[in-house]
Amino acid sequence: MLKIENYSIVLKGSDGRSLPVLENINLEVADGTCLGIAGESGSGKSVMAMSIVGLIPKASINNISGHIFIDSKETTNATEDELNKIRGKEVGFVFQEPMTAMNPLMKLQEQIDEVIYAHESNVTPKEAKARVIDALTRAGFKEPEKFLDSYPHQLSGGMRQRAMIAMALVMKPNLIIADEPTTAIDAELQIQLLRELRKQIVEQHLSMLFISHDLGVLRSISDEIAILYCGNLLEKGPTKEIINNPQHPYTCDLISALPRLVQERKLPQPIIGTLPSPDEKLSGCVYADRCKIATNNCYNSRPELKKIGDSHFVACWHK
Ligand SMILES: Nc1ncnc2c1ncn2[C@@H]1O[C@H](COP(=O)(O)OP(=O)(O)OP(=O)(O)O)[C@@H](O)[C@H]1O
Ligand SMILES: [Mg+2]
């Protein structure tokens, strides 16, 4: 459904410096599966999400190389017209901040209608309403009819997030890109929402790219997990493998920082240090500075992502 091939993007920093934000990314999302992307703030998760359908402003791009395919159509060289057809219809988006993605002056039904009419002009109002209600139901609204005339500020945070999901689902796209869709809501609602999204993946045979800084969240929704660090993929593999048999020192550190994933009683071990900035021009492994087992070689040259098991890949000189 989605294939990212040797993709790199260099953005322009505020003072004109080149920022290599994503470097040689290779990822695939198979039909009806969910790929989770984990990474700290600044690792390039949102840039990756936006790159897929050409949402990075042209003025901030220095260079792009590699290819991105959606359902075997290449988006990296598509025109703005072609991209507009793909956005919303073939790919649905769910963003972290529903308040910025929704129009505060439009009622819920109008917001979702707008998505429908952007792609199909001859839908009757009755048909549009039925589709809106169906999308809201699939996004977990219990009595969607009651909320059609509500403005965004009249909905709770959780409902606004569900409304965003309904907007992403309404055109029945085959792929959903969700960028931290549950980060702003409380834990219990988050679990419910993840369950509903998982149901859509299974029942509607939907493919999903689900971005989160929280491995615990990714564990409950993803079939596979990819670990992004400073624009580089450090590890990827089936969710169970990544959680139970992590191989990259960074993945191991992330899991120790979240003991509830493996052992309730252990104390969390925060990772010391911070992510290098994309303009630091590191020649070695991007994690070397914070890595407990880094040796000279790790500082000098960058390890490639290598296959170490069934669909399990890791980029580490020690593996
Ligand atoms: N339009 C832009 N122009 C220049 N640099 C950018 C632009 N957008 C993002 N960046 C830089 O790219 C890097 C990755 O940013 P990105 O927003 O993808 O991180 P993220 O992993 O989504 O972080 P967060 O978890 O905080 O959302 C950062 O260093 C950021 O400053
Ligand atoms: Mg982001």
State how far the alpha carbon of 255 is from the alpha carbons of 4, 7, 81, 205, 209, in Å: 26, 27, 43, 30, 21
**Ligand 1 centroid to 208 CA: how many Å?**
21
Ligand approaching nearest to the C-alpha of 14: 1
CB of 32 sitting under 6 A from ligand 1: no
Any ligand 1 atom below 6 A from CB of 227: no
pLDDT of residue 276: 84
| 12, 21, 282: residue to mutate for ligand 1 pocket, most atoms within 8 A of CB | 21
Q: What is the pLDDT of residue 173?
A: 93
pLDDT at 119: 92
Largest Cα–Cα separation, the chain: 67
CB-ligand 1 contact for 41 (6 Å cutoff): yes
- DSSP type of residue 275: P
212 lines ligand 1 (CB under 6 A): no
**Can you give the pLDDT at residue 193?**
84
Report how far ligand 2's centroid is from the alpha carbon of 106 (Å): 26
**Phi then psi for 312, rounded to 5 degrees?**
-110, 125
Which residue's C-alpha comes closest to atom 2 of ligand 1?
60
Separation of alpha carbons 203 and 165, rounded Å: 16
**CA distances to 13, 41, 148, 170, 274 from 291, in Å:** 27, 18, 51, 44, 11
Please tell me the distance from the alpha carbon of residue 237 to that of residue 313, in angstroms, as a whole number.
Answer: 6
Through-space distance between the first and last CA atoms of the chain, rounded to whole angstroms: 30
pTM strictly above 0.75? yes
Residue 175's pLDDT is what? 95
pLDDT of residue 266: 63
Atom 18 of ligand 1, residue of closest alpha carbon: 44
Asked whether 140 lines ligand 1 (CB < 6 A), one says: no
Structure-block tokens of residue 141:
């609204």
Third-level CATH fold of 2-90+173-314: Rossmann fold (3.40.50)
Measured CA angle at 62 (ends 56, 63), to 5 deg: 90
What pLDDT score was predicted for residue 60?
93
Mean pLDDT, each 10-residue run in order, the chain (319 residues) = 96 88 96 94 94 92 96 91 90 81 92 94 96 94 95 90 91 93 77 86 92 90 96 97 95 83 65 80 91 94 94 96
Interatomic CA distance for residues 306 and 298, integer angstroms: 15
Task: List b or e across 30-39, with b for residues whose CB sees 16 or more CB atoms inside 10 angstroms.
Answer: eebbbbbbbb
